[in-house]
Amino acid sequence: MAKKKQIRFIDFCAGIGGGRLGLERGINASCVGFSEIMPTSEKTYRILHKTNKERNWGDLTKINAKELPDFEILIAGFPCQTFSIIGQRKGFKDKRGQIIYHLIRILKDKNVPYFILENVKGLINHNRGNTIKTIKKSLEYAGFHTDYKLINSVKMGVPQIRERVYFIGIRKDQVKRNEFIWPNEIDTPDIKNFLCDNNSEVLDENNATFQRYLNNKYNNGKYNIKKLLKEDYLVIDTRQSDLRQYRGVVPTLRTGRHGILYVKNGKFHKLSGFESLLLQGFKEKSSIKVSKEKNVLERNLLSQAGNAMTVNAIELLSKQLLNYIEK
C-alpha cells in the first residue's frame, strides 16, 4: 500500500507559530518555511519550534512566489491592527491591510490548493461589513471557494475568550460535493491547569500604581480588595475605565496591553508569559523553555502570545480540512 504523502505548508505572518503548531499537531503536516518580519518574534519562533536552519522568507510583500518551495496549505494570521476595534480601523488604507492581496498573489502564483486565514472579530463589521465581503470576493475571484466563521477559542479547548474570524479556502478544482464542516465546540478546560506558574509575579495590593487605579474616577469605592482576594482563580482585567472580573476563563490576550491579574492563595498574581502561551494552546515543555530564555523578554513574550493564533483552533480546523480532502 502506497504511503500517504505528507501535506506541506508555509507559515506566513507567522508570529510565534501558533498556526504552525496547530497544523503539525492536527494533521502531522510539514512546515517548509515561514515568513515573519519581527526579529523578536522570530527568535521566540525558533526556540518554540526548534528550527535554526529553516528559512525565514521575511517580508511577504517582497517574496518572489516562484522561489518558494511547493506546498499544499497556506496559513496566515494576516495583520489585524487595521481592522481591530482597538486600533484605528484604517482597513485597506493602511499598508498592513493590503497584506491580504500579497497572500492572494502567492496563492495564485504557486497554485496552492488550500488555505487557512485568521483575523480579528472586528473584520466582520469593519466598513459596515464591506471589508470582509471584499476579501471574500477577492479570494473567490482568485479561484477559491471561500467560507468564514467567527470562532471563540474558549470553545476550542483553552479557557481564553478569544473571538477570531477564520477563513477556509479550497481551490475550485478541488471542490467536492460535500461541504466543509466546521469543528464542533468542545468543553472549556479547568483554568487551574493554565494559571500554574509558580514563579509568576505577585502584585502587592498596596502598590501605588494599583491603588491609584482602584481610586480613579471610574473605580473609586467600587471594589473591596479583601473580598477579591478570598476567591482563588478569580481573573481580573484592569482596563483603563473599569475592572472586569472573570471566573473560569481569561479575557482576550492582547499584543499591546498586559493588565491581567488573577487571585491565588490570597494574593494577586500577574499573568506570566509562560501562562499566556499555555492559554494559546502551546505545550508546557516548550513554553517553560522559552520563558526561561534570558534573551527573550517577559514583556515581548506577553505581546507575542497576544498576537498568536490559538493552537487548538487551528488543530481542530486542520483536522476538518483533512477530512474534506480525504473524502
Position 258 confidence tier, pLDDT thresholds 50, 70, 90: confident
pTM for the model: 0.92
Please state whether beta strands 260-264 and 234-238 pair in parallel, antiparallel, or not at all (unpaired).
antiparallel
Position 5 confidence tier, pLDDT thresholds 50, 70, 90: confident
The DSSP code for 297 is -
Average confidence (pLDDT) over 64-88: 78
Please state whether beta strands 243-247 and 163-171 pair in parallel, antiparallel, or not at all (unpaired).
unpaired
Position 131 confidence tier, pLDDT thresholds 50, 70, 90: confident
How many residues are present in the chain? 327
> What is the pLDDT at residue 103?
95
pLDDT tens-place string over residues 136-160: 999 999 999 999 999 999 999 999 9
Is 13 part of the annotated catalytic residue set?
Answer: no
158: nearest Cα among 252, 86, 85, 298: 252
| Torsion sign (Cα): 224, 225, 230, 232 | positive
Radius of gyration, CA atoms only, the chain: 21
Average confidence (pLDDT) over 91-95: 48
How far apart CA 327 and CA 323 sit, in angstroms, is 6
> Quick one: what percent of the chain has pLDDT higher than 90?
82
How far apart CA 158 and CA 191 sit, in angstroms, is 8
Position 89 confidence tier, pLDDT thresholds 50, 70, 90: very low
Average confidence (pLDDT) over 131-137: 91
Class of domain 8-186+310-326 as given by CATH:
alpha beta
DSSP for 45-80, written as a single string: HHHHHT-SSSPB---GGG--GGGSPP-SEEEE----
Name the grid cell of 288.
517553560
What phi, psi does 97 have (nearest 5°)?
-70, -15
Catalytic choice (13, 31, 80, 196): 80
Helix (H) or strand (E) holding 267: strand 267-270
6: nearest Cα among 21, 38, 28, 35: 28
Q: Looking at this protein, which amino acid is placed at residue 149? A: K
Map out the domains of the chain as residue ranges.
8-186+310-326, 191-305
Do residues 254 and 299 touch, judged by C-beta distance below 8 A? Answer: no
> What is the pLDDT at residue 90?
52
How far apart CA 18 and CA 281 sit, in angstroms, is 8
Of the listed ranges 3-7, 88-92, 303-307, the least confidently predicted one is 88-92
Evaluate if residue 203 carries a pLDDT over 60: yes
Evaluate if residue 88 carries a pLDDT over 60: no
> What is the pLDDT at residue 263?
97
